[in-house]
């Protein structure tokens, strides 16, 4: 391939203040540069020996390797990009940014091998934003990501970093409306961020033309190729001009990646920061052996009670386990939500938005979230089960301790997982701190203290002295314990429902628009969303009247095999009953089996649920489905008690 003619900015020497400099006492190894010979490049494209000339060049453009501190102001960036970086909260480059940005600005194809959580998105995003001409309104860069969540996250970060330059960013991924993506591409976007399947679909349909693209970027390349995207990725790269610049970011260099390097890169330069042994630094690895005396979900609850994580991702190996864990957490009063492949894309985005806003303490996920997802200030990662592949553990725990912060990774380990544990200790030299789960009595005391803390918080905020005589009467009553228990149950159920309703209202009023259009500009929520409470009211009042006329009295709370609830969902709101059950179960944090069946009519519907699922489902009421004018609020409520009319004689 012919080399692209580009201007080479000369970044002046400057100080580097990496946020993780203090946690990395030893200087990073010097960059390895591929030799000019094509034969040598083909034989070892990513692991060539470093030459004295390469070291001299390294010293010229990347002084941070020798322990100095590099400011973004020293990279020769334009004022618009520097402003975006500063407003995004970045002041100094991390090691991967300090080494990759000058190379990319110089026009080199680069292969960056770096650990998770080191700031790779900005490492390739800043050169794209700097070098792409403003206002071209044609695809100038393509960024491929392995998952929808990562594609959306990358698009959001590029949007923020480039907010003061006239560039548009479009996120293209499956599970969402093609119409919106068609509109974004037609309006013109310079940077396209997407997953391979949907990107290739747009290429095939003719809605995405990459013939003028200057950049091709593969983010988390090893994960993308391990998921079977090799053929799709190569087909996409073949639609880019040969003169494009290729930036490849990966944690490992597999055979598939080496083939890509040989086929699509021009004398690539390798920036090696993760080393031959991939580890995650700044993370405390904690081990709890499960106790066979009680079920594994209870082991998890006891672990959470004693560790008290303020925020955590709980990783499970199967989707069924995510549903079980989420339901158990909800029953024990913890704020949690599921993230797995069964969720519709809109719901996945809603869950991630709530987690990032801090409205959820626990995200229960399969490994769909293990790569690239960045949640600020995530304190803990919990492995409900160790992964079968030990390397996946490293990607999981990398969700915490990002960019120099500290984190804790906790694992529940049973007998069948001892082989994975041994591999982690021997192959990756991970040192686990073993702790013991509390006994049932100790966990009960922790549970009681957590709930008393919530009661104390309420007591500080209310005037309650008038109730003290009632307290004395209850203590003296024979059934006082039962009455107090009933009051507490009602209090915590109501508290949970209020929190769920508040979160639902925030979702309706504060949900951000999809990332498409002008960089940095956020689209306003549609007028239909603003009207959704009125739509809900129009549905609810007729439903109340019809429920009252129905004659069934489920409002008494009598436990039966199935409890009937009314819903504003109707037959046209979902493709089928199964989609409604999956969405409702995920939002309520219950197993799908807890919703025995649904009967959706033309205007409203009924659902029949297990008694233990009633309160979580009622608490989940108030979410919206659909888009634009078709947006609709979905409410769930108990049938009202029928009022008997007595005629006067």
Tell me what the mean pLDDT of segment 62-70 comes to: 47
**Percent of residues, the chain, with pLDDT higher than 90:** 29
Domain boundaries of the chain, sorted by first residue: 32-272, 283-441, 454-509, 527-637
Other CB atoms closer than 10 Å to residue 423's CB: what's the count? Answer: 16
Higher pLDDT, 34 or 197: 197
Burial of 53 (0-12, 13-18, 19+ CB in 10 A): exposed
Q: How confident is the model at residue 506 (pLDDT cuts 50, 70, 90)?
A: low
Nearest to 193 by CA among 136, 124, 239: 124
Of 68-72, 301-305, 582-586, minimum mean pLDDT range = 68-72
Nearest to 491 by CA among 524, 472, 512, 467: 467
Residue 473 CA to residue 513 CA, distance in Å, equals: 54
| Range with the poorest average pLDDT among 155-159, 198-202, 599-603 | 599-603
| Cβ contacts of 520 within 8 Å, gap of 6 or more | 84, 159, 160, 162, 163, 164
Residue 537 has pLDDT above 60, yes or no: no
Q: Tell me what pLDDT residue 346 has.
A: 75
For domain 527-637, the CATH superfamily is: RRM (RNA recognition motif) domain (3.30.70.330)
- Residue whose entry in the numeric block shows the structure tokens 């190569």: 234
Judge whether residue 256 has pLDDT over 50. Answer: yes
pLDDT on residue 24: 32
Identical fold, 32-272 and 527-637: no
Higher per-residue confidence, 513 vs 587:
587
Please report which confidence band the pLDDT of residue 589 belongs to, taking 50, 70 and 90 as the band edges: confident
- pLDDT computed for residue 116 by the predictor: 66
Chain centroid to CA 57: how far?
39
105-119, 175-189, 363-377: range with highest mean pLDDT: 175-189
pLDDT at 103: 94
What's the rounded mean pLDDT across residues 557-565? Answer: 63
pLDDT of residue 11: 41
* Sign of the CA dihedral running 645, 647, 648, 649: negative
Structure-token pair, residue 631: 């947006």
* pLDDT tier for residue 37 given thresholds of 50, 70 and 90: very low
Instruction: Report yes or no: 106 and 29 within 8 Å, Cβ to Cβ.
Output: no
Nearest of 224, 283, 284, 251 to residue 96 by alpha carbon: 251
What percentage of the chain has pLDDT greater than the value 70? 73
Report pLDDT for 334. Answer: 87
Cβ atoms of 8 and 106 closer than 8 Å: yes
The CATH homologous superfamily to which domain 283-441 belongs is: P-loop containing nucleotide triphosphate hydrolases (3.40.50.300)
The predicted-structure confidence for 405-454, as pLDDT tens digits, reads as follows 678 999 999 888 888 899 888 888 889 999 999 888 888 888 888 888 88
32-272 topology per CATH: Rossmann fold (3.40.50)
Query: Long-range contacts made by residues 290-295, C-beta under 8 angstroms, separation at least 24?
Result: 290/412, 290/413, 290/414, 290/437, 291/437, 294/440
Question: How far is C-alpha 474 from the chain's CA centre?
Answer: 47
pLDDT tens by residue, 611-634: 888 888 888 887 878 766 666 888
pLDDT above 90: residue 293: no
Helix (H, G, I), strand (E, B) or coil at 473: helix
Q: How far is residue 522's CA from residue 295's CA, in Å, rounded to a whole number? A: 47
394 confidence band (pLDDT: 50, 70, 90):
confident
Mean pLDDT (the chain) is 76
pLDDT recorded at residue 647? 46
Model pTM score = 0.55
Confidence of residue 370 (pLDDT cuts 50, 70, 90): low
pLDDT tens-digit map of 477-495 = 999 899 988 888 888 877 7
């Amino acid at each position: 391939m012919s080399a692209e003619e580009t201007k080479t900015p000369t970044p002046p020497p400057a100080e580097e203040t990496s946020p993780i400099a203090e946690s990395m006492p030893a200087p990073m190894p010097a960059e390895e540069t591929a030799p000019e010979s094509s034969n040598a490049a083909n034989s070892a494209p990513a692991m060539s020996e470093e030459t004295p000339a390469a070291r001299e060049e390294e010293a010229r453009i990347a002084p941070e390797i020798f322990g100095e501190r590099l400011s973004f102001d020293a990279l020769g960036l334009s004022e618009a990009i520097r402003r975006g970086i500063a407003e995004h909260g970045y002041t100094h480059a991390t090691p991967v940014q300090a080494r990759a940005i000058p190379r990319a600005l110089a026009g080199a194809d680069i292969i960056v091998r770096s650990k998770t959580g080191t700031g790779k998105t900005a490492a390739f995003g800043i050169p794209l934003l700097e070098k792409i001409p403003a206002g071209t309104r044609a695809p100038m860069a393509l960024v491929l990501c392995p998952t929808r969540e990562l594609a959306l996250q990358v698009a959001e970060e590029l949007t923020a970093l480039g907010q003061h330059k006239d560039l548009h960013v479009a996120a293209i991924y499956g599970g969402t409306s093609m119409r919106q993506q068609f509109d974004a591409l037609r309006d013109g976007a310079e940077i396209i961020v997407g997953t391979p399947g949907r990107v290739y679909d747009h290429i095939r349909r003719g809605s995405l033309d990459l013939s003028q693209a200057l950049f091709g970027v593969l983010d988390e390349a090893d994960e993308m190729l391990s998921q079977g995207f090799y053929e799709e990725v190569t087909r996409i790269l073949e639609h880019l001009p040969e003169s494009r610049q290729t930036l490849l970011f990966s944690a490992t260099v597999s055979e598939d990646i080496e083939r890509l390097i040989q086929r699509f890169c021009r004398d690539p330069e390798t920036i090696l920061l993760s080393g031959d042994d991939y580890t995650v630094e700044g993370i405390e690895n904690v081990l709890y052996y499960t106790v066979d005396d009680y079920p594994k979900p209870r082991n998890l609850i006891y672990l959470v009670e004693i560790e008290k994580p303020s925020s955590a991702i709980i990783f499970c190996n199967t989707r069924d386990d995510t549903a079980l864990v989420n339901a158990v957490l909800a029953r024990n009063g913890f704020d949690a939500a599921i993230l797995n492949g069964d969720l519709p894309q809109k719901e996945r985005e809603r869950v991630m938005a709530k987690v990032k806003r801090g409205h959820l303490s626990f995200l229960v996920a399969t490994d769909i979230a293990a790569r690239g997802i960045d949640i600020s200030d995530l304190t803990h990662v919990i492995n409900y089960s160790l992964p079968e592949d030990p390397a996946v553990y490293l990607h999981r725990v990398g969700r915490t301790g990002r960019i120099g912060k500290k984190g804790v990774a906790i694992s529940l380990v049973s007998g069948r997982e001892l082989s994975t544990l041994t591999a982690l200790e021997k192959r990756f030299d991970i040192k686990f701190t073993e702790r013991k789960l509390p006994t049932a009595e100790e966990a009960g005391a922790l549970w009681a203290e957590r709930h008393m803390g919530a009661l104390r918080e309420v007591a500080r905020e209310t005037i309650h002295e008038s109730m003290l005589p009632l307290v004395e009467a209850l203590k003296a009553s024979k059934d006082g314990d039962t009455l107090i228990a009933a009051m507490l149950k009602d209090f915590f159920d109501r508290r949970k429902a209020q929190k769920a309703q508040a979160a639902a209202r925030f979702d309706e009023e504060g949900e951000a628009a999809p990332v498409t259009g002008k960089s940095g500009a956020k689209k306003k929520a549609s007028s239909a969303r603003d009207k959704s409470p009125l739509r809900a009211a129009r549905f609810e009042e007729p439903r109340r009247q019809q429920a009252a006329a129905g004659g069934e009295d489920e409002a008494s709370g009598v436990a039966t095999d199935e409890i009937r609830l009314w819903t504003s969902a109707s037959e046209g709101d979902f493709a089928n009953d199964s989609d409604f059950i999956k969405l409702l179960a995920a939002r309520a944090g219950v197993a799908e089996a807890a919703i025995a069946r649904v009967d959706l009519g033309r205007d409203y519907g009924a659902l029949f649920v297990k008694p233990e699922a009633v309160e979580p489902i009622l608490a989940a009421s108030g979410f919206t489905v659909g888009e634009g004018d078709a947006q609709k609020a979905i409410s769930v409520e108990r049938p009202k008690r029928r009022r008997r009319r007595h005629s006067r004689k």
